[in-house]
Amino acid sequence: MANALQQLIRERLDRKGWSYGEVARRGGVPRSTVHHLATADRVVRMPQPATLEGLAKGLELPLDGVRRAAAEACGIHVYGSADQGAEGAAARPRDLEVDMLIASVQQLSADDRRHVAALVESLLDRSSREK
């Protein structure tokens, strides 16, 4: 079964009748990158922001949707404006780094999550003392 990014790319290529090369040219990214993202069963790490921006431009799709599909292809669920509803999105601007941290922590063991929680608590304590 295709991952979310593969599905997004393939559906767009089918709908528009484009090739990997055409998407690459339109977005200013290498054809090999578009091909890899469209055919890899699992994306090992999140593509660089410039790659995602180019892919979104080449596919003529919103960056947020391409970013979300890429994160899912990496096994990361991105929490953000789509999950919060309109009120949540207006109240807090999306921060992809925070979204990815939240999603990544869910993949840790219970013991490792406790270590992360202790680290975060320590950093917050230090931050409040510095103010």
pLDDT in tens, 10-63: 999 999 999 999 999 999 999 999 999 999 877 888 899 999 999 999 999 988
| pLDDT of residue 85 exceeding 50 | no
| Residues in contact with 29: Cβ distance below 8 Å, sequence separation at least 6, in sequence order | 51, 54, 55, 58
Residues 12/61, Cβ–Cβ less than 8 Å: yes
**Which domains are seen in the chain, by residue range?**
4-73 (1.10.260.40), 94-130 (no CATH)
pLDDT in tens, 87-121: 444 444 555 566 667 666 766 788 888 888 888 88
The confidence score (pLDDT) of residue 102 equals 65
The confidence score (pLDDT) of residue 90 equals 42
97's tokens: 């780094």
